[in-house]
Amino acid sequence: MMKKAPASTSVTETQGLDNLAPRERQVVECVYQLREATAAQVQEALGPDLSNSAVRAMLGRLETKGLLQHRVDGQRYLYSAVAPQAQVRESALKKLVGTFFNNSKASAATALLGMSGKLSSEELDDLEAMIAKARKEGR
């Protein structure tokens, strides 16, 4: 049985990932990476400086905030993210582009390309294909 966040909450309606405490953000990122995780798995992934009870408390808070949900598997709670990672990524990118690049996607892309090391031929082909698709769609 999956316990979902209240129907009226979503990542964009709650405080979102950017307003989380650093440890809470690490927990959410860990759950995204594992796709579904117990408190013990999160604790193991984050290291020994967090107690199991601290991890469980954070998982509970994140569930209350509408970012995580859980299902019961025997005696374990398995936590998963409420919003798809792609949706959260897009929301974070929009905020980043708006804040640091005056809503200019081109400026953001230029900055990303400038900070990266050498791009592989495959990555360059992917970028060219995305640009061609955007032109074709009039974006």
pLDDT in tens, 22-57: 889 899 999 999 999 999 999 999 988 889 899 999
pLDDT of residue 48: 83
Residue 68 lies in a domain: yes
Determine the pLDDT at residue 90: 81
pLDDT at 16: 62
Backbone angles phi, psi at 5, to 5 degrees: -65, 160
Question: What's the confidence (pLDDT) of residue 116?
Answer: 63
Alpha carbons within 13 A on the beta-carbon side of 72: 4
Q: Is the pLDDT of residue 13 over 50?
A: no
Residue 90, domain member (yes or no): no
Q: What total number of domains does the chain contain?
A: 2
pLDDT in tens, 66-117: 999 999 999 999 999 998 878 877 877 888 888 899 989 888 888 888 876 7
**CATH number of the domain to which 24 belongs:** 1.10.10.10
In a domain, 89, yes or no: no
> Residue 62's CB: how many other CB atoms inside 10 A?
23
**Domain that includes residue 37, residue range:** 2-84
